[in-house]
Amino acid sequence: MAVAHLNKESFVEMTSHGLSMVDFWATWCGPCQALLPVIEELGQQLEGSVNVGKVNVDENRELAKEFRVMSIPTVIFFKDGEEVDRMVGASPKNAYLERLEKLK
């Protein structure tokens, strides 16, 4: 699976090494649903080079609170377990690719 559906335990495991991007989302969020195919495409395209995951904020409120996610969708970028950047709101695929390129 190219995009991992994360909980507290798998979140730490996935983001602790290398470059990761995590989409904080909810099923009832229209912009989150619009971003879904973009995240899926990125997961497939970046498999093996960037870890791509999703966190359902309704099911994982503690993670959303820990990372101060106030609006969704929020995509947070991690490098070796540390937050290095974030994007709030839905953006086109190229915007995420450009951000990742700057973070490498």
Catalytic residue set: 29, 32
Tokens of 97: 């690719």
Adjacent-strand bridge partners of 56: 25
65 CB-near residues (< 8 Å, 6+ apart)? none
Kindly report the length of the chain.
104
The structure tokens listed for 100 are 């990742």
Number of Cβ atoms within 10 Å of the Cβ of 50: 19
